[in-house]
Amino acid sequence: MSMTYRPLGRTGLTVSTICLGTMTYGEQNTEADAFAQMDYALDHGVNFFDTAELYAIPPKAETQGRTETYIGNWFKARGNRNKVILASKVAGRDRGGMTWLRKDGSSPEVNKVQMIEALEGSLRRLQTDCIDLYQIHWPDRPMPWGSNPTAFKAKAYEGSENSMLEALETLQTFVKQGKIRFIGLSNESSWGAMQFLKLAEQHGLPRVETVQNAYNLLNRTYETGLAEISMREQVGLLAFSPLAQGYLTGKYLGGARPAGARSTLFNRGQRYETPNAEPAIRAYVDLAREIGWKAEELALSFVNSRPFLGANIIGATTMDQLRINIASIEKRMTEDIESRINAIHHIYCNPCP
C-alpha cells in the first residue's frame, strides 16, 4: 500500500490523503487502543492527525480533553512529535449547555479570553509547544448546524455572536507566539469561509487554509458553493464523517444495531436516519457489491478522489476498521464508477445534509 499526499492549503505542508480522526479515544477506545491505532497509521504513511479540545465524543465533562491527553502521552512515549502534522480545535459558541468546558463555568464562545484558555489547555494535554493547524470547531455566530442546509429556516440565524475579526486577531497572536502555525474552520458555510478570507486580506491576518465539514455520499452539500472556494482559493476540505458515522457500511440497514457500534451505544445517528437515507445507503451498498468492493471502500474512495479535498478524516474503533479505511487509498475511482454513483445521487440527492 502506498499512501498519497496533498498540499495543505497554501501552507507549504504536505499531508497524507488519509487523516487519522481521534474522537473515539477516551470513550470507545482505551489509551492502549489509541496507541495501537496511531502506531499503525504512522507506519502506513498517515502523517496527519486531527483532534479537538472537546473530544472524546459524545461530549461530556468526564471525558473532555481525554483524547488530546492520549495523543500527548503517545508523543511523549514515542518521541515522534516531529513526524506528525497535528490539527486541533477550539469549541464554538455553546449549543448544548457545555458550561463544564471552561474553568469558570462560562458558556463557550469564540472570544479572546476563551481562545487563550482553550489553546493553553490543548498544548498542555498534547505535550507540545505548537499545534500545526488550529481550527474553530464550529462558528460563533447563529447559523444552521451542518453549514449548508437544504431548507431555509430564518430562526437559525437569530442570536448573539462575537466578531470574526477578534477571532482572527487572537489567532494571529498565537501564530506570532509560535503556539500555532496555521488556521482552519470547521462546520462552516460558503459565506463564512469567504468572510474570513476577506478579513484576513483586509487586515493582514492569518489566512484560512482548510474547512473541515461533513462530506460523504449522503451529504455532498459541500459541492454547492464551498467546493469552488476550495478550488479557487486553495482552501482544502478536511472531510469528516466520510462513512456517515458508519451508516454507509450498511451495518445499520433494516434497523440493525450491532453491539459496540456508535449508534447502538449513543443513539446519536439521527442525521443519517432521514426518510431517503436507507434506500440511498442500500443503493450504494449494492453498487459496491456489484463492482467487488466493500461498501466502505466505495464511500472512502469517492471522497479520496475529490480534487477539492485536503484530507479525508477517517475514524475507527477497531484495528480491522482502521486497516480497511487506510487501505481505501488503493481503490481508484473510475469514470464509470463515479457515473454510477452520480446516478444514485440524482435520485437520492443529499438525504442527510
Which amino acids are annotated catalytic? 55
**Helix (H) or strand (E) segment spanning residue 289:** helix 277-290
User: Half-sphere exposure (CA, 13 Å, Cβ side) for 33?
Assistant: 18
Q: Which of 164, 160, 162, 234 has its CA nearest to residue 203?
A: 164
Instruction: Mention every residue, 6+ apart, whose C-beta is less than 8 A from residue 25.
Output: 31, 33, 34, 37, 55, 56, 66, 67, 70, 71
Distance (Å, whole) CA 51 – CA 68? 7
Q: What is the dihedral of CA 221, 315, 273, 269, to 10 degrees?
A: -120
C-alpha cell at 106: 462560562
Task: Fill in the amino acid letter for 244.
Answer: A
Which ranges constitute the DSSP H helices of 127-188? 164-176
Relative to beta strand 14-16, strand 85-90 is unpaired
Which cell numbers in the block locate residue 265?
451505544
Task: Return the residue matching grid coordinates 498519497.
Answer: 4
Helix (H) or strand (E) holding 35: helix 31-43
Rounded CA gap, 78 and 81, in Å?
A: 8
Q: Which residue has the cell 462560562?
A: 106
Report the DSSP beta bridge partners of residue 19.
313
Cα(first)–Cα(last) distance of the chain, in Å?
A: 33
